C-alpha cells in the first residue's frame, strides 16, 4: 500500500517508517527539513519536503495514497516560544489536514491523538487533541479514521534530568504510589503498523500504553540506572511548578496548560476514558527505557 507518514523521522515516525518499509509498503515521509531527505531515502522511503502549514503541498502529497498517518508535530521547542499559541497552532494543523484530505481524495486516516482527548475541560495543553479529533471527525463519513490515543511518552522523562542534577530529585506537581500509564514510541509505532494491516471501518479509537507504574517506582528505576538509588520523587504545589516553568523561559500560557495537565493526572480527569477502554500493554517497559535515560543523563 501507498502510505504517507507525517512527523519526519521523529520518535514515532522513524521506527514506524522502518517497520512499514520492511513489510513492503510504499512509504513517503513528510519532513520540513531538506537535510532529512537522504536519511529518509536510506530507510527505503521517499521524502516529501514541505510543511504542515502548506495545504497545497499536503494535498499533492496525499493524492493517490491508500493511508495517511497524520500527527500534529510541533517540536517541544515551541513550549518556550512566547509568540505561539500552542493549542491554536496545533488546531490549525488539524484543519490543514482536513482540507488536504478532502481535496486529495484519500479515504483512510490514522490520526495520532493523545490521552485526555476525550474531553476539553481540565486537561490543560492536551485540549488541542480533543479539538483536533473534532476537526477531523467533521470529514465525510466515507473517510475512515483510526484515532490512536497514546498515554504519556517515556521520553518526556528526559525533562527530569535538570532537577536531578541540580537538586538530586524529580520535582513535579504530581507523584506518589498511584500507578499511571506510560508508553514507548516503539510500542506506538508497532500498534500503528498493526492498524495499517487491519480493515478500516468508519471511526475507531484505540489507546496505547506500555506499562502502568507509579511515580515512586519510576524514581527508583531511574535512580538505579544513573547510580543514584536514593533518588526521590518530590511533589510540589501547582503554583510552585508554574513559577519554575515560567522562570526557565516557558511561554506562560503553555506553562499554565502544562501544570493543568499534570493536575489532571492526580484525579480521574485524564485517565477516566483510558480505564474504560484499557489496552493490552506493550513490550517496552520503564526498565528498558532507563538505559536510554542513563545515557542522556551522563551526556547532558
Per-residue pLDDT at 86: 86
User: Domain for residue 135, yes or no?
Assistant: yes
The overall average pLDDT reported for the chain is 96
Q: With cut-offs at 50, 70 and 90, classify the pLDDT of residue 90.
A: very high
pLDDT of residue 79 exceeding 70: yes
Domain count of the fold of the chain: 1
User: Domain for residue 57, yes or no?
Assistant: yes
Q: With cut-offs at 50, 70 and 90, classify the pLDDT of residue 179.
A: very high
Residue 75: half-sphere exposure toward Cβ, Cα within 13 Å: 9
CATH of residue 17: 3.40.50.720
Which residues, at least 6 apart from 267, have a Cβ–Cβ distance to it below 8 Å?
Answer: none
pLDDT, one tens digit per residue, over 130-168 is 999 999 999 999 999 999 999 999 999 999 999 999 999
User: Domain for residue 85, yes or no?
Assistant: yes
Report how far residue 57's alpha carbon sits from residue 293's, in angstroms, rounded to the nearest whole number: 37
pLDDT of residue 223 exceeding 90: yes
Report how far residue 139's alpha carbon sits from residue 254's, in angstroms, rounded to the nearest whole number: 29
For the chain, give the percent of residues with pLDDT over 70.
99
Q: Which stretch of 82-91, 167-176, 190-199 has the lowest confidence by average pLDDT?
A: 82-91
Is residue 29 helix, strand or coil?
strand
pLDDT, one tens digit per residue, over 233-269 is 999 999 999 999 999 999 999 999 999 999 999 988 9
User: Domain for residue 165, yes or no?
Assistant: no
Read off the C-alpha cell for 1: 500500500
Sign of CA dihedral 158, 164, 166, 171: positive
User: Domain for residue 224, yes or no?
Assistant: no
pLDDT of residue 77 exceeding 90: no
Average pLDDT over residues 220-234: 97
pLDDT, one tens digit per residue, over 31-74 is 999 999 999 999 999 999 999 999 999 999 999 999 999 999 77
Which residues, at least 6 apart from 295, have a Cβ–Cβ distance to it below 8 Å?
Answer: none
Report how far residue 14's alpha carbon sits from residue 18's, in angstroms, rounded to the nearest whole number: 6
pTM: 0.96
Is residue 152 helix, strand or coil?
strand
User: Domain for residue 58, yes or no?
Assistant: yes
Residue 201: half-sphere exposure toward Cβ, Cα within 13 Å: 2
For the chain, give the percent of residues with pLDDT over 90.
94
How distant, in Å, are the alpha carbons of 18, 23, 45, 46 from that of 26?
A: 11, 9, 7, 8
Read off the C-alpha cell for 212: 502502568
Domain span holding position 189: 2-153+183-208
Per-residue pLDDT at 84: 87
Q: Which helix (H) or strand (E) holds 38?
A: helix 37-42
**Among 91, 122, 191, residue whose Cα is nearest residue 150:** 191
pLDDT of residue 76 exceeding 80: no
User: Domain for residue 67, yes or no?
Assistant: yes
Per-residue pLDDT at 73: 74
User: Domain for residue 79, yes or no?
Assistant: yes
Amino acid at each position: 500500500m501507498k502510505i504517507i507518514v507525517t512527523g519526519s523521522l521523529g520518535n514515532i515516525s522513524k521506527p514506524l517508517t522502518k517497520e512499514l518499509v520492511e513489510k513492503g509498503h510504499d512509504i513517503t515521509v513528510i519532513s520540513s527539513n531538506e537535510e532529512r531527505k537522504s536519511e529518509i531515502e536510506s530507510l527505503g522511503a521517499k521524502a516529501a519536503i514541505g510543511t504542515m502549514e502548506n495545504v497545497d503541498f499536503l494535498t499533492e502529497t496525499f493524492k493517490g495514497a491508500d493511508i495517511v498517518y497524520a500527527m500534529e508535530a510541533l517540536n517541544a521547542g515551541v513550549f518556550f516560544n512566547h509568540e505561539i499559541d500552542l493549542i491554536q497552532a496545533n488546531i490549525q494543523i488539524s484543519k490543514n489536514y482536513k482540507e488536504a484530505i478532502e481535496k486529495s481524495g484519500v479515504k483512510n486516516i490514522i490520526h495520532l491523538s493523545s490521552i485526555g482527548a476525550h474531553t476539553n475541560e481540565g486537561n490543560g495543553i492536551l485540549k488541542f487533541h480533543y479539538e483536533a479529533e473534532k476537526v477531523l471527525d467533521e470529514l465525510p463519513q466515507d473517510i475512515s479514521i483510526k484515532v490512536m490515543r497514546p498515554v504519556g511518552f517515556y521520553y518526556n522523562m528526559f525533562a527530569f534530568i535538570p532537577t536531578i542534577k541540580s537538586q538530586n530529585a524529580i520535582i513535579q506537581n504530581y507523584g506518589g504510589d498511584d500507578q499511571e500509564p506510560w508508553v514507548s514510541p516503539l510500542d506506538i509505532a508497532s500498534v500503528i503498523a498493526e492498524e495499517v494491516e487491519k480493515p478500516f471501518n468508519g471511526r475507531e479509537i484505540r489507546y496505547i500504553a506500555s506499562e502502568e507504574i507509579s511515580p515512586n517506582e519510576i524514581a527508583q528505576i531511574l535512580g538505579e540506572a544513573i547510580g543514584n538509588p536514593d533518588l526521590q520523587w518530590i511533589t510540589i504545589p501547582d503554583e510552585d511548578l508554574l513559577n519554575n516553568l515560567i522562570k526557565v523561559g516557558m511561554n506562560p500560557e503553555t506553562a499554565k496548560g502544562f501544570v493543568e495537565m499534570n493536575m489532571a493526572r492526580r484525579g480521574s480527569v485524564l485517565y477516566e476514558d483510558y480505564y474504560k477502554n484499557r489496552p493490552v500493554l506493550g513490550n517496552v517497559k520503564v526498565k528498558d527505557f532507563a538505559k536510554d535515560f542513563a545515557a542522556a543523563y551522563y551526556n547532558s
